Amino acid sequence: MTAVLQNKKALITGGTTGIGFATAKAMIEEGADVIVTGQNTERVNTAIADLGSKAFGLTAASQDAETPARIVKAVKDRFGLLDILFANAGVSWPAPLGQIDASAAVQQMTINFVGPLMMVQALRPLLNRGASVLFTTSNLDRMGMPGLAVYSASKAALRSLARTLAAELVGEGVRVNTIAPGPIETPILGKLGLSKEDLGGMKEDIRSAVPLGRFGKPEEIAAAAVFLASDASSYMLGEEITIDGGRCNL
């Protein structure tokens, strides 16, 4: 059976751990060559060693103004043109109303929304006809959770952006869609600044609110990303696939 992404060229931002890494692995298994980006050079090198010869790594932070130009150069040098852009990099810095720092809010919006926007804008000339652009949004673009106002707003903005870009790029044969994960067991949970006890309590609260009674796995999101990147989803445009164990629906 032919791999569904055979000879496709992909870029995955935030591809060194969690959802991004699982997606890079899945896309390579389906025949793609992949560039992954990450902020930490050591993690980038470790990811590339694990992913093998069809992967190439680039240390880059999505909030840096020069990052899109550096990534464009890397794509040109490595691939020439691009078939898949998965803008996955993002952060979550919880803060309840009354404790939201304006500069942190702006930075979070920059990483989660402005960064992906600038990335698509910069890479647009390199997108092959038939290319697929994917964004990682969140089920929180449809529901509210205390303490996550800025994060949720950034993902809602990204969801709206996907609709607009889908309309703008459809004439060029480029499809834009999004994946909205719910609670997923990834390293981002350990970066929330919580104590071990508080983190454990938060995870149990979240788990108990998910109808399927568990956190999702990065590989489950990766499977959706492969589907949206492949011709199997050729009739999907401006859509969002929510994968959250039923949290939004039940």
The domain limits of the chain are: 9-186+218-240
8, 9, 25, 155: which one is catalytic? 155
Active site residue 235: no
What integer best gives the mean pLDDT of the chain? 94
**Which residues touch 16 (CB under 8 Å, ≥6 apart)?**
36, 37, 38, 40, 43, 44, 46, 47, 57
The C-alpha atoms of residue 69 and residue 57 are separated, in whole angstroms, by 15
| pLDDT > 70: percent of the chain | 95
pLDDT tens digits, residue range 196-232?
A: 776 667 788 888 899 999 999 999 999 999 999 999 9
Over residues 116-131, the mean pLDDT reads 98
pLDDT score at 2: 81
Over residues 167-172, the mean pLDDT reads 98
CA atoms within 13 A of residue 227's CA, in its CB half-sphere: 15
| pLDDT > 90: percent of the chain | 86
8, 9, 25, 151: which one is catalytic? 151
pLDDT tens digits, residue range 137-164?
A: 999 999 998 999 999 999 999 999 999 9
**pTM (two decimals):** 0.94
pLDDT score at 139: 96
80: left (phi over 0), alpha (psi -120 to 50) or beta: left
Decide if pLDDT at 188 tops 70: no
The confidence band for 250, taking pLDDT boundaries of 50, 70 and 90, is confident
Active site residue 151: yes
pLDDT score at 197: 72
CATH number of 9-186+218-240: 3.40.50.720
pLDDT score at 193: 59
Residue 111, judged by CB atoms within 10 A of its CB (0-12, 13-18, 19+), counts as buried
